Structure 1
Amino acid sequence: MTIDWSNLGFSYIKTPWRFLATWKDGSWNEGELTEDNYLHIHEGSTALHYGQQCFEGLKAYRRKDGGINLFRPDENSKRMNRSAYRLRMPEVPEAFFLDAVKQVVKANQEYVPPYGSGATLYIRPLLIGVGENIGVSPAPEYIFTVFCMPVGPYFKGGLTPTNFIVSDYDRAAPNGTGAAKVGGNYAASLLPGYEAHQRKFSDCIYLDPETHTKIEEVGSANFFGITAANEFVTPKSPSILPSITKYSLLHLAQHSLGLTPVEGDVYLNELDRFVEAGACGTAAVISPISGIQNGEDFHVFYSETEVGPQTKALYHELTGIQFGDISAPTGWIFDVPLD
């Protein structure tokens, strides 16, 4: 397959190998790499009927020296296990998770985009309930699989400011599964996302489901804002997915840029406090927000055409670490052995 690395979108591309393991009678088998990109499951699988499934998203980055980095995959493992606990699924041991990810990246290393292309290898670990079942109860068996594909920017244009619109829909319920990375949260976003795209916006802004006064998430990414007082602010809520990218940016904002990191309420009627804003996540990396449409009101941040200086600096700091050009905080980068 010939791939135009510099013009990749964010879409599925079949790569040769993926990892597959099964859980039954209380334990995981050792798993194996397979070329089959279809899952063969029972019609009674709880993943199909009751949404008993969770997933992760992380990336592999080609370094200038030809090696391959993973960015904080241990945090993806921890988050998957928190999601699994919320849905009564078995834990995937961290060492098992990390080994599976490294096996898949190594087996598909020719699909890791070259350094300097701006593209990455997106990795999708998936945990689903399977087996004979029809009642609302945890599944008798589970599948853990990891597959990957080369991708470009999640939002078209990459580091280009775009507009978002406040949605009347809720992404998750108070005390629900908003903090777990489960498919149901994303299913709830499909209609509001479609309506936003129809109106030529990049995606939705979701408010807190209890009062509808505070920003929570931006499509499938986390929100951040930078104030004139040099604060880096992100929403805090039990119904927000805890983004690994967000927590990395909170650290970098403080230790690399000298900003004050703040996790707290982001009220919709206080957007004037922010001079820059953006969405962040593994897929999105950082997507600058130029403006937010809220009913008849349209609020512009730094610029509708240019990226703010602090947002740009954070993007280059984060991606520099991920691609191995900038020294990373201890424990953030995992090398993938290729020998």
Structure 2
Amino acid sequence: MMLRKVLSFVDSQLLNGLKLQLGGSSSYLTSKSVSSLQEDVRLDSDRSDEENGEMDWDNLGFALTQTDYMYEMKCSQDDNFTHGKLSRYGNIELSPSSGVLNYGQGLFEGLKAYRGAKGSGFLLFRPEENAKRMQIGAERMCMPAPSVDQFLDAVKQTVLANKRWIPPPGKGSLYVRPLLMGSGAILGLAPAPEYMFLVYAAPVGTYFKEGMAPINLLIEDETHRACPGGTGDVKAIANYAPVLKAQMRAKSKGFSDVLYLDSVNKRYLEEASSCNLFIVKDGVISTPGTNGTILPGITRKSIVELAQNIGYQVSERLVSIDDLKEADEVFCTGTAVVVSPVSSITYQGHRYRYRIGEQTVSKKLYTALTSIQMGLVEDKNGWTVKID
């Protein structure tokens, strides 16, 4: 049913004279181009979605693999997004003076599609939360945003068009990356006149090179990820390049990632470069509260709710370095990392070690979360969205 919708949508959009930029000039797609793209979609969809000879599923890391299709939708500053389209995965055309290139006016999201257990279609995990978070970020960055329904439709179409790239159960997932950017040309500092919403996808395995093994973090007390009043609580593209130097420095010393402190007191934990933080002490779970400088992670939110549902006390509060020193257990959460146990954290030359293994809180929560994401247990929370 979803495939018929994709084909009908592609057909209607192309026949309505959708313009593509070809070699720098505008031209309308011919009926031959329409039928060619339709046939491409059909051929790719007819391929076995369980066998992809191009992939070594057993050695799948977190790296970009070019898939078949992406989704694109545009609108002007004073308009709303309306119609989008699937196209072959490939480069996009941007003006050198686009808002995203000159002023960093852009957001991104990340979510995953899983192959359902026993061939029961494909599953998305809480995609409406990503759509809502993008809308909040867009308001902060002065951009129009897709509606929740538009966001979900674009993600579903992208997943279905690339279904042969979804790993077998237990081998990984299809990472879906929605982007919202100021694509229009602008010279003075102001919102761009045109915006692009783009969705692409790639098959991925575990995020850290350690795989599912515990990771080791380094506390950074000089470089800060965010400051009060900034954009630390939205998924702005400009939040990530500034942490690369600290992250590369930590990795050169053998650490998995960097853990950042607040920029005011330099004693309260915030988050790692791309994931939220939790500590466990005497069976009580604590995580830094999202006070404007920490990204409200969707996996973070899910773990808080899951932990409470199975009887744990969860506290969202200021978590200090002293709390960290005394913790029994530490773990990180995020769409990419899922739930990653932390073996040690180093601060000012001293390494603090934490409990790891099968009987830890993080292991229990990882199993509970991934069982829902992959359709192995009943989803009593209504978090998963099925695509047939």
- Please report the TM-score for the alignment, with normalisation by the length of structure 2: 0.83
Post-superposition offset of 1:157: 2.8
Question: Could you tell which deviates more after superposition, 141-150 or 266-275?
Answer: 266-275
Is the Cα contact below 8 Å between 1:81 and 1:92 reproduced in 2? yes
What secondary structure is seen at the aligned counterpart in 2 of 1:27? coil
Corresponding residue for residue 9 of structure 2: none
The CA distance in 1 between the partners of 2:149 and 2:229, in whole Å, is 30
The Cα offsets for residues 284-313 of structure 1, whole Å up to 9 and x where unpaired, read as: 10111111110121111115xx46521111
Post-superposition offset of 1:173: 1.5
Is the Cα contact below 8 Å between 1:159 and 1:307 reproduced in 2? no
Corresponding residue for residue 111 of structure 1: 165
Is the Cα contact below 8 Å between 1:254 and 1:261 reproduced in 2? yes
Is the Cα contact below 8 Å between 1:288 and 1:307 reproduced in 2? no
Is the Cα contact below 8 Å between 1:159 and 1:286 reproduced in 2? no
Is the Cα contact below 8 Å between 2:81 and 2:145 reproduced in 1? no
What secondary structure is seen at the aligned counterpart in 2 of 1:28? coil
Q: Indicate which of 66, 73, 76 corresponds to 1:21.
A: 73
The CA distance in 2 between the partners of 1:12 and 1:194, in whole Å, is 19
Gaps of 5+ in 2: 1-52
Q: Indicate which of 198, 205, 210 corresponds to 2:252.
A: 198
Is the Cα contact below 8 Å between 2:158 and 2:201 reproduced in 1? yes
Q: Between Structure 1 and Structure 2, how many residues are aligned?
A: 332
Tell me which amino acid in the other structure corresponds to 1:254: Q
Question: Could you tell which deviates more after superposition, 50-59 or 218-227?
Answer: 218-227
RMSD of the alignment, in Å? Answer: 1.2
* 1:1-339 equivalent positions in 2, closer than 5 A: 2-24=54-76, 26-66=79-119, 67-117=121-171, 119-167=172-220, 168-228=222-282, 230-236=283-289, 237-256=291-310, 258-303=311-356, 306=357, 309-337=360-388
Is the Cα contact below 8 Å between 1:153 and 1:283 reproduced in 2? yes
Post-superposition offset of 1:186: 0.3
The CA distance in 1 between the partners of 2:88 and 2:135, in whole Å, is 26
Is the Cα contact below 8 Å between 1:192 and 1:204 reproduced in 2? yes
Is the Cα contact below 8 Å between 1:17 and 1:35 reproduced in 2? yes
The CA distance in 2 between the partners of 1:34 and 1:9, in whole Å, is 26
Is the Cα contact below 8 Å between 2:98 and 2:182 reproduced in 1? yes
Is the Cα contact below 8 Å between 1:278 and 1:288 reproduced in 2? yes
Post-superposition offset of 1:166: 0.5
Question: Could you tell which deviates more after superposition, 324-333 or 184-193?
Answer: 324-333
Post-superposition offset of 1:30: 0.6
Is the Cα contact below 8 Å between 2:89 and 2:200 reproduced in 1? no
Is the Cα contact below 8 Å between 1:158 and 1:287 reproduced in 2? no
Higher RCO, 1 vs 2 (CA within 8 Å, ≥6 residues apart): 1
List, as ranges, runs of 4+ consecutive aligned residues in structure 1 with deviation greater than 3 Å. Answer: none
Tell me which amino acid in the other structure corresponds to 1:38: N
Post-superposition offset of 1:204: 0.3
Q: Percent identity?
A: 40
The CA distance in 2 between the partners of 1:321 and 1:293, in whole Å, is 33
The Cα offsets for residues 185-209 of structure 1, whole Å up to 9 and x where unpaired, read as: 1011110000000111001000111
Post-superposition offset of 1:132: 2.0
Post-superposition offset of 1:183: 1.2
The CA distance in 1 between the partners of 2:358 and 2:177, in whole Å, is 30
The Cα offsets for residues 4-34 of structure 1, whole Å up to 9 and x where unpaired, read as: 1121110111110110001125132411000
The CA distance in 1 between the partners of 2:196 and 2:174, in whole Å, is 22
Post-superposition offset of 1:159: 2.3
The Cα offsets for residues 121-165 of structure 1, whole Å up to 9 and x where unpaired, read as: 000000000122111100000000100010010012332112100
Is the Cα contact below 8 Å between 2:80 and 2:146 reproduced in 1? no
What secondary structure is seen at the aligned counterpart in 2 of 1:114? coil
Is the Cα contact below 8 Å between 1:276 and 1:308 reproduced in 2? no
Structure with a larger share of its residues in helix: 2
- Please report the TM-score for the alignment, with normalisation by the length of structure 1: 0.95
